[in-house]
Every structure is written in C-alpha cells, then in structure tokens.
Amino acid sequence: MKKINLIGSKLMNRRIALGFIVALVLIASGFAISFYSYIQYGADTGRVRHTYEVTSALENILSLVKDVETGARGYVITNDTTYLDPYRKALRLLPGEIEQLRILTTDNRIQIQRRILLEQLIKNKVAVTEDRIGIKPFDKANLAVSTEGKYQMNLLRKQVTLMVDTEQAMMDVRNRQAERSFRNTLIIIFALSLLTFLTLAISYQLLEQELTHRQQTEDQLRSYDSQLRGQIRQLEASNEELERFAFVASHDLQEPLRKIQSFSNLITDRYGNLFDADSMIFMGKISNSAERMSKLIKDLLNFSRISSHREDFQSVPLSETVQRILDDQELRIKGLDVCVEVSSLPIVDGIPSQMDHLFNNLISNALKFIRPGVQPLLRIQMRSVDGSDYPDLNLNSDRPYYEITIEDNGIGFDEKYLDHIFKVFQRLHGKSTFEGTGIGLAICKRVVMYHHGYITARSQPNEGTTFVVILPESQSLQQYDRPTSEAYSYPAS
C-alpha cells in the first residue's frame, strides 16, 4: 500500500509539473507569435509605405514633365522668358526624381522594365519640347512638333498610370495579407490564451488535490507516529520486564543446576565405590546435562543482552582481543597442536564485550571442528575493502570496511546449510559428536549486524571453513538505526 501511494504521489507530481510546463510553453508561444506578428506588421507597413513612395515619385515626375510642357507652351505663345523658369526648374529636378524612382523600383522586375520605358518616354518628351522652343509660333513645323509633343505626353501619362495602378494593386494585395495575418494572429493568440487558462486551471486543481492528499497523508503519519510511540513505550516496558525476567530466571535456574552438579559430584565422590558401571554412567550423564544446561542458559542470556543492552561504541583493538582469547585457549591449542597464524588486525569502533563474544565463538568453532589425523590450522587475516568489493550487500561505497577472515582446515560443511548455521539452535552435527549449544554463531550474527557489518562463510566438506566478517571502520549511524532483530546471512563474493 505504501508503494502504491508513493507511485501515485510521483504520478501526480509529474502531472502538475507537466501542466505548468505546458502552460509555460503556451505562454512562450503566445509571446513568440505576438513578436512575429509585430515584425510582420512592421514589414507590411513598410511595404505599404514603399508603395506610397513609388506612387509619389511617379506623380512628381508627371508633374515636372507637365511643368516642362506648360513652360515651353507659354514661352512659344507669348515669347515671354519668364515662362522658361518653371521649365528650367523642372529639367533640373527631373534627374533626381528619376534616380529616386530607380532606387524604389529595384525590388520589382516588371516595374524596372516599365521604369526604363518611362525614362525613354521622358527623354523623348523633353527632346520634343526643346525642339518646340526653338520653332516660332507661325512656323509650319510648329504644328507637327506640337502634335508629336501631345502624342509623347499621352504615352508618358499612360505609362505613369500603368505603374501607379500596378503599385496600387500590390498595395491592395499587401493590405489584404496584413489584415489576414493580423486576424489569424489574433485567433491564434486567443486560442493559446484559452489553452493556457485551461491548463493553469487544471494544474491548480491537481495541485489542490495533491496538497489535500499530502495533508491527509501528514495527518495519517501523525496518527501512525502517535501509535508507534505508544507501541515503542509498550515495547520498552516489555523489554524491561523481559530483562528482569531473564535476570531472575538465570539466577533461579542456575541455582538448582549448581546444586544438581554439586550433589552429583558429592555422590560420585563419596559413594562411587558402591556404584556399578551403569550407575556411574547415569551420574555422569546427570552432571553433563546440568553443565550443558548451565552453558545454554548463559549463551541465551548473552544472545538476548546483545540487542537489549545499549552501550556506547569505542575504539577496540582487535589484535588485543584476539590475543587475549588465544591466551585463554592456550592449553587447548597446545593440546591439539594447532598451527596459529594471526596477521595484524585493525582498530574498529565497537563494543569490547561483544567483540569478545564474536571472536571467542569463531575461534572456538575452529578448534572444535577439527579433522582426525590432520594438524589443525587457525589462520586469522585482515584486508581493507570498500562497498564495491561486495556489490550484493548494498554497502556504502564511500565508507571504509575491514574484511576479517577466520580460516581452519577442519571438517567443513556443505554451503547449502549456510543460512541455517547462523540461526538459534541450528546444528549440523549431533550433541554426542561435537559439544555446543547451537547458539554461538547466532550470537556472532547478531553482534556483526549490531555493528552494521555482515558475516558469511565459505566451506566445503572435509576442506575446512573460512568465516568472513565485514566490519565498518567507524560507526556513523544513529543509535535508533542499529539493527536489533535476527538477520539472514549473505554469501561471500
């Protein structure tokens, strides 16, 4: 259920983000289209202005040609030179107007051709007008020149009218394009604005739903937290009662066991000569059973105290810990003629008493499960590793670890039983074959897990066993992060 809620929350967040992204894209598109429309409107306005400029230039040219014609006619009729002033002024201004028209019509191939023809007509008209000025009014040639002048003027007017009509037609087309572009732009901007509004409305609704859902989730988490705190208090009270029970039970159980052992030893010492062989065997079994029961109670107490007794981590020199255990096992090691090899061991953050339990159980196992006829070997080595050396364990790759191996050449075991040997009361051999309570490796497992490490083993029948212990160099997790429950072992790489 938690996973489904998490997926649903992520999906809702993606939808909200997608909604805002779509809104931003729509707004940006609206700005881009508006800017493009503004540029197009400027271009259309420029083209319309250009048309007005061409039309104005054509009208100016026609007006100047008319001035030339009017001035020449007045002079011919009146022989008054004052009529030649507008004539000369028009001739002086015509080249500039023609050059202006040439510049304005460079973008239109048809208008260029018509402009060239217009220039030729202007030259012809000016030439005819100059000829007319030189002829007297009553000269017979005056009528022919006047007729030619009217003819050239009509051609020139038609050419100017054609060019003006062409510019007017292009202006109409450009105006319609500008109107259509402006209308389409308004429609697109309106549609984008509407989509943006709808997208923002939907995103707001989704956001409101998400906020409501998160508020409900937060209220539910507060309720769970309150319940959890209550259960934690109940669990702490239960643990305290269990600790008191374990303490009292250990003393109450140890006392009758000690009496059983004491009285069985006294009976054997005092009345042993009166017992037959079967009676002595029975008394020995009573004493051994009481001793085994006492050891089992001690191991169970040690197993329960690992997670219930909170102690601060401190620097533990493992070389001293292992050497102290070997000193305690000195007589047994010499009696078995064990070859002991111990390399330099590190200093780790840990709990000294638990490190004693860990290595004492592992060394005792190596000394216990020996092969007959083979000199026992006990080899303890260490190397520094990081999380990448054990990818299956999900170790922190930035955190330094120590890999400590305890190797023997004993009877070994089949690795299909690897998970079983680290559980309480799991034994691979009968009680009569090898002594033990079946709790030692479970204690090792709990100690290693409490120290945020891992333990596993490599073994083959009759080829010895290598226990692999991985411990962090320093303990950086908080007190409440420490594992206190039984955990499964992992295969070594």
CA pair distance 320, 223, nearest whole angstrom: 50
Residue 137: predicted pLDDT? 60
8 A C-beta contact, residue 152 and residue 121: yes
| Torsion angle in degrees (nearest 10) through CA of 227, 229, 230, 231 | 90
pTM here is 0.46
Residue 79: predicted pLDDT? 75
| Domains defined along the chain, listed by start | 2-208 (1.20.120.1730), 313-481 (3.30.565.10)
CA pair distance 327, 105, nearest whole angstrom: 112
Residue 425: predicted pLDDT? 56
8 A C-beta contact, residue 114 and residue 159: yes
CA pair distance 303, 306, nearest whole angstrom: 6
Q: Tokens 């939907």 label which residue? A: 202
Torsion-angle region of residue 228: left (phi > 0), alpha (psi -120 to 50) or beta? alpha
CA pair distance 361, 338, nearest whole angstrom: 17
Residue 138: predicted pLDDT? 60
| Short-list 388, 412, 417, 409, CA closest to 400 | 388
pLDDT in tens for each of the 493 residues of the chain?
Answer: 445 555 556 666 676 677 677 777 777 777 777 777 767 777 777 777 888 888 888 888 888 888 878 877 777 777 777 877 887 888 888 888 888 888 888 888 888 888 888 888 888 888 887 777 777 666 666 677 778 878 888 888 888 888 888 888 888 887 787 778 778 778 877 887 888 878 878 877 877 887 888 888 888 888 888 888 888 888 877 767 766 666 666 666 667 767 777 777 788 777 777 777 777 777 777 777 777 667 666 666 665 555 555 667 888 899 998 998 888 888 888 888 889 888 888 888 888 888 888 888 888 888 888 888 888 888 999 888 887 777 677 677 677 888 899 898 888 887 777 777 777 655 555 455 556 556 778 888 888 888 888 888 888 888 888 989 988 888 765 443 444 333 333 333 3
CA pair distance 455, 444, nearest whole angstrom: 8
Residue 176: predicted pLDDT? 80
- Single-letter code of the amino acid located at 360: N
Q: Mutual orientation of helices 440-450 and 352-368 as an angle, nearest 10°?
A: 140
| Torsion angle in degrees (nearest 10) through CA of 431, 437, 439, 440 | -90
